[in-house]
Chain A
């Protein structure tokens, strides 16, 4: 999402009217309530909500944790746009002409109370795509001895998708997720592709069969709202298109993937590489003493049992 980076330097309107769409589960009532908040420079929407909770209305319910865009629990709809409330400046959304902000709970998630939404279905769908590495060798999976070898370019293939913080903004913005309850959603499908593209994973046949049977990957229409609203630039829309290409090539029996093996254990301790002749040690550093020092990873650990 193109965040207005200069908003933090601007002074927001002196007081801002914050409209909150509230919901009371016992009464089953929904209503819009407004709060006047005195602002300061650099104030975020989450700051404003905390101020309301502390000073005006302690019954207001919302979820938050880290306050710095890492945990992904404070997702809200700000002026009709899914955003992390801790990353949204008041100065970005409220202007001097219209000092108002409308807050709603995340779309497409059941509302428990006020701005608090239920993520059970979202995480259930995440669980469905098997978000873990699958190895065919059970012994190796249960008792791994050494790490898998992976090339830097293989890491780049999926690294972007590992940055997901499961904030649910993509699901709130997706038009297909809104209309089709069976659709797995951008988050789950991006995670499915993340493990499919990982060279350490050997379960690609199982994953592709399950995803093909489920059919969710084919239902995406590339509105790309998920990639647009994503606060971590995970690009779920791109991942789903790549997943669909993988499914297509798999259907034509053309899907190929190199799977990484565990690193071969060393047969014997190798001699230390001597310093090149042009290297000169820093004055006052005793190289021979450094060489005698115990290594962080003992050599014995790297050797075969």
Chain B
């Protein structure tokens, strides 16, 4: 008789466990933090390769290619735009996580359970901070898009 292994593994991060933006945005933020982190790792490698190969031909040439590629809509500029969005979200959410995880700020005080039975850490100021992170992220990302493509 053998028990079946049921550990979800890394893919468990991508299951939301009934979380949604209203009741458990922390899980959504966690998932997005993971995805943006993976995007950023990819971006760092692409960035090293691109700057390395272009820098050989001199700074002017590199700048000219950058402007040519990034000011018009094409797959490279779109990937750059997505990477910038990932960087902004990862940074903003990272600040919130630093304050919550290292200093235990914004998670309320322990209390006796009472209706409607929501845990204090889910009611604390960090919940509003998450919504602020989402709002700021969208605003900054839109501004980056405006500067890149429309300005």
- Shortest CB-to-CB span from B119 to chain A, Å, is 4
18 contacts between A and B (CB under 8 A): A2-B23, A2-B117, A25-B2, A80-B17, A107-B12, A118-B3, A156-B112, A160-B112, A160-B120, A175-B15, A178-B11, A227-B119, A228-B24, A228-B27, A229-B17, A234-B119, A237-B119, A241-B107
Q: Report chain B residues within 8 Å CB of A242.
A: 104, 107
In the complex, the chain B residue whose C-beta lies closest to that of A173 is B17
Complex: how many Å from CA A156 to CA B8?
Answer: 36
Q: Which residues in chain B, 25-45, are within 8 Å of chain A measured between CB atoms?
A: 26-27, 30-31, 33
Which residues in chain A, 172-226, are within 8 Å of chain B measured between CB atoms? 172-173, 175, 178-179, 181, 220-225
Closest CB pairs A-B (n = 3): A178-B12, A81-B18, A238-B121
Of A80, A220, A224, the most chain B CB neighbours within 10 A belong to A224
CB distance from B123 to the nearest CB of A (A): 10
CB distance from A221 to the nearest CB of B (A): 6
Stretch of A35-43, A55-63, A109-117, A261-269 that contacts chain B: A109-117
In the bound complex, do residue B27 and residue A225 qualify as a contact, i.e. CB atoms below 8 Å apart?
yes
Q: Select from chain A the residue with minimum beta-carbon distance to B107.
A: A238
Question: At the interface, is chain B mostly helix, strand, loop or mixed?
Answer: loop
Which range holds the interface residue count of chain B? 35 or more
Check: A163 CB closer than 8 A to any chain B CB.
Answer: yes
Task: Using C-beta atoms within 8 Å of the partner chain, give the interface range for chain A.
Answer: 35 or more
Binds A, one of B54-62, B94-102, B138-146: B94-102
A100 at the interface (CB under 8 A from B): no
Contacts of B101 in A (CB 8 A): 220-222, 241, 244
User: Which of chain A's residues have a CB closer than 8 A to the CB of B103?
Assistant: 245, 248
With A161-B110, A224-B122, A233-B118 given, is the CB distance from A245 to B104 under 8 Å? yes
Contact yes or no, B23 A224, CB < 8 A: no
Option from B1, B16, B19, B120 in Cβ contact (under 8 Å) with A238 = B120
Residues of B contacting A2 in the complex (Cβ-Cβ under 8 angstroms): 23, 116-118
Q: How far is the CA of A158 from the CA of B111 in the complex (A)?
A: 9
Please name all residues of chain B whose beta carbon is closer than 8 Å to the beta carbon of A106 when the two chains form the complex: 6
Which residues of chain B have a CB within 8 Å of any CB of chain A? 1-13, 15-19, 23-24, 26-27, 30-31, 33, 97, 100-104, 107-108, 110-113, 116-122
B residues near A160, Cβ cutoff 8 Å: 110-113, 120
A residues near B (Cβ < 8 Å) are 1-3, 23, 25-26, 28, 30, 79-82, 105-112, 117-118, 156-161, 163, 172-173, 175, 178-179, 181, 220-225, 227-230, 232-235, 237-238, 241-242, 244-245, 248
| Contact assessment for B119 and A233 in the assembled complex, using a CB-CB cutoff below 8 Å | yes
Rounded to whole Å, the gap between the CB of A232 and the closest CB of chain B is: 7
For A28, what are the chain B residues with a Cβ–Cβ distance below 8 Å? Answer: 2, 4
Tell me how far the C-beta of A1 lies from the nearest C-beta in chain B, rounded to whole angstroms: 8
- Chain A residue numbers with a CB within 8 Å of B15 are 80, 107, 175
- The distance from the CB of B139 to the nearest CB of chain A, in whole angstroms, is 24
The answer to whether B119 and A238 touch across the interface, beta carbons within 8 angstroms, is yes
B3 and A107 form a contact (CB under 8 A): no
Q: Which of A1, A80, A158, A227 contacts B121 (CB 8 A)?
A: A227
On whether the beta carbons of B23 and A228 are closer than 8 Å, the reply is: yes
With CB as the reference atom, state the residue of chain A lying closest to B108: A238
